[in-house]
Chains A and B, each alone.
Chain A
Amino acid sequence: MLLYLAKRAAGLVGVLLAMSVTLFALQDIIPADPARAAMGPNAPRMLVEAKRRDMGLDQSVVTRYCRYMRNVTRGDLGESVHTHNPVVRDLAHFMPASMELALTALVLGVSFGGVLAMAQAAGPRVDQALRLALIVATSAPIFLVGLLLSLLFWYRLGWLPGGGRITPDDFRLGPTGFMILDGILSGQGRLVANAIEHLLLPALTLALPIAVAIGRSLTSSLLDVYRQSYIRTARAKGLTELRVLLHHTLRNAAGPALSMLGLQVAVLFNNLLIVERLFSWPGLGLYTVQAFAAADLPAVLGVALVVAVTYLATAAVIDVVRAILDPRLGLR
């Protein structure tokens, strides 16, 4: 296990180095001007040139890269051009919202996917109806799904909020930045309920593609496992169907679904950008969009690093869980 984790950590460092080099090279190619963005559109060119020197943009890309990496090792990701804050501080501010949304979407997606798969594996009648539902769900682009959910449940029916993270009057910034957790820690039940209300539509939008992918993958694994002789033996021994499912079938069928979950995490990060904008969700997606518009390269780099670390860490966790569920796979 330790060797595996060490290998993963080394891989992570390698990926981060490669990504930072690529992003720095791209910065040099893209004709964006962070100095102009910092000084404003109307500032005289002389002042912009002075700012360029001040930001070190007149130095070679290699010099800037070395300085950046030196600062990164000290936990300093630079200062955002747009917010004028240290990027680390901005990430700490925006990340909990994205994490809360992503985690909720994952939980919903895996739950729905599991239910779908088990329902499909249960019988052909359910299978037909669900197959149709899956085709519809996978065909629609995520922004359309989000838009339809928003128009129906917020605009038409008024059942759920259409955007934001909390109803303003209830808003209290807590210690963790996770609204639900902060609400629980501070004993404010109404805040928790309000936060959940706001989470439902964006999380559901993000969860649907995950549910479909997990559902399909798990269904075919379940059907395979159900055909195995040890399942017949378990049933012949008189075990209940639920016990057969939980103890003998699901555990052996979970491997491919977990691999699919790893892929879905990457898709989830991409979809976050769209869904956060659609639902005015104050997370990393909003921060990234604003950073792009302001040639805010330190912020863009910071977000890219965080997303890469999160993705690689998630992939490692999934590998470990797979190995625990099926020791034959081991940790490689």
Chain B
Amino acid sequence: MQRIGRIVIALAALFAMISVARATTPAGGVKVLRVAYNEDVSTFDPDDAIILFGLDAARVLYEGLVQYRPGSTEIEGWLAKSWTVSPDGRTYTFTLRDGVTFHDGRPMTAADVLASFTRRRSPNLPLSYFLDGIQNMSAPDPRTFVITMTTQQPAFIDRLASPWAPKVIGPGALVDHAGKDQGVGWLNEHADGTGPFSLVEFTRGQRYVLRRNPSYWGAPPYFEKIEILIVPNVGQQMLMLQRGELDILEHGYPFDQLERLPAGLKLDAHDALSLEMAYFNRTKALRDPAVREAVLTAINPDGWLADAFGHFATKARSLYPKAMLGAPEPVRFPTDFGAARRIIAGAGPISLEIGYTDEEAPVQQRVAEFMVSLLKQIGVVATVRVIPLDQESSLINDLQHAPDIWLAQDYPDAAHPATQVGVFFQTDAALNLFGYSNPQVDSLAARAAEMTDVAQRDRTYVAISRILFADRAFIPLADIKDVIVYRDSLVDLNTRPALPWAVDYGTIRRR
């Protein structure tokens, strides 16, 4: 027994020594920023995938021609110091910055931009559609890059400012490591861009390391190194943040804990481009317009928004996020609960299923729980179904077995309303999950996409929103803010509405 006691004491002493040693070692040092992603970045190849986790790393590895300004959806030059648009709106001429080099030291020229854009247009690359409608591209001199469109597309410049826009990739990747797959294999876990950081380590499942690019053309970043750890459990990320093992938690901090953050932590809550929407599946219980009206009365965000998200969300004014388009009047939901009860009582027993993806569960579970409770008040029995993210796009294949109400907070490609309509609302749009189709909407969308007068354009898009809401096909619910929690020693995060779950690693610094 005494021997066991001695062993226990010895082990305790050993652990204590380890913990003291660890406590006296600064976590990563002053010039290292440590963040965590919930999952691996599938690829850092800017042309090969839509990524959410990893966008902030991707944008300091690669740069595009233009970008959105911090805190806004205004567009500014990036690798292009300026650009002009021809009077017919079809030709964009970009003048490139001087003194830009790739991570391997080679100078960037217009020929590199042309090579990168040519690669992006390869139909076998998933993001090729960003450059749809281009008639011709050329690099008449080393500092000039010209794009000619087949028709005028005012949203084109927004597509170039999108987080998933084409970026300029160096010849180190596109020539030296081109292989037989246009460099796809190499670029999967390597990077060759012009950004303020270079990718020095990519270990799937564990961590990625970015190191400051000493020959960067712009202001040098404060941090010498960014360490990105893969920590799938948000709860563990929160504890790591509190212990000082992480500097930033970029996504997933529970809303109900944001009001009482532990000492030493701050939050940045900013508008995002993702709108909280409900899709109505109008083929089952919601086929009846009167039932739709009654259900709409119950799920009115006025009844649950403040309780669910506090001051981190506002009621939506249209089917566009407010960072994209400020609609003049709020959406009007019916408010007569008595009438709603009478409709449901007359329609017979109504049961509805509310669905959302597992990936959005932290947000949608809160919304769905409130909706279930409110629907019960009008006599509707509602249940909740969570489905894997990979099955969301297949809902359209079997509407009879799809949920009646689908909750989602998806991202359009860019901050132009055309991308919102093109991704969600038009016939055959990628995220038109229940197959809604309205020729009037398609026609208005086609006209709006060519408008250059912003006021007229916005009026047209608001009109589209009203039609969609009047049809009770898409229900705008809320603008929920993107919330980033970070250690209070950090400043200059420079978040952007169009850049989900991301800070600017190029400007962030420690006080």
Contact = CB atoms under 8 A, between A and B. Distances in A.
B390 A83 contact: no
Given A84-B184, A290-B39, A165 B206 contact: yes
Nearest to B424: A42
Interface residues of A, number: 61
Given A30-B391, A33-B393, A54-B124, A171 B207 contact: yes
Nearest to B20: A158
B373 interface: no
Contact of A159 (B15, B39, B204): B15
Contacts of A50: 123
Interface string A17-45: 00000000000001111101111111111
Nearest to B52: A41
B124 to A, nearest CB: 7
Interface string B217-252: 000000000010111110010011001000000000
Contacts of A164: 206, 229, 231
Interface string B327-348: 0000000000000000000000
Nearest to B16: A159
A270 to B, nearest CB: 17
Interface stretch (B40-48, B309-317, B318-326, B454-462): B40-48
Interface in B1-47: 15-16, 18-19, 22-23, 28, 39-40, 42-43, 45
A50 B123 CA distance: 9
B118 interface: no
B43 A84 contact: yes
Contacts, number: 158
Interface string A79-104: 00011110000100110010000000
Contacts of A150: 236
Given A40-B49, A155-B239, A171 B206 contact: yes
Given A39-B126, A40-B50, A162-B236, A33 B394 contact: yes
Contacts of A33: 390-391, 393-394
Contact of B394 (A31, A163, A171, A286): A31
A148 interface: no
A42 B413 contact: yes
A44 B129 contact: yes
Contact of A293 (B18, B50, B388): B388
Given A82-B40, A169-B28, A277-B232, A197 B18 contact: yes
Interface of B: 15-16, 18-19, 22-23, 28, 39-40, 42-43, 45, 48-50, 123-124, 126-129, 184-185, 188, 203-207, 209, 227, 229-233, 236, 239-240, 243, 358-359, 388-395, 397-398, 410-413, 423, 428, 430-431
Interface of A: 30-34, 36-45, 47-48, 50-51, 54, 82-85, 90, 93-94, 97, 150-151, 153-155, 157-160, 162-166, 168-169, 171, 173, 197, 277-280, 282-283, 286-287, 289-290, 292-295
Given A34-B390, A36-B390, A280-B232, 5 more contacts: A33-B390, A40-B127, A154-B239, A168-B229, A295-B388
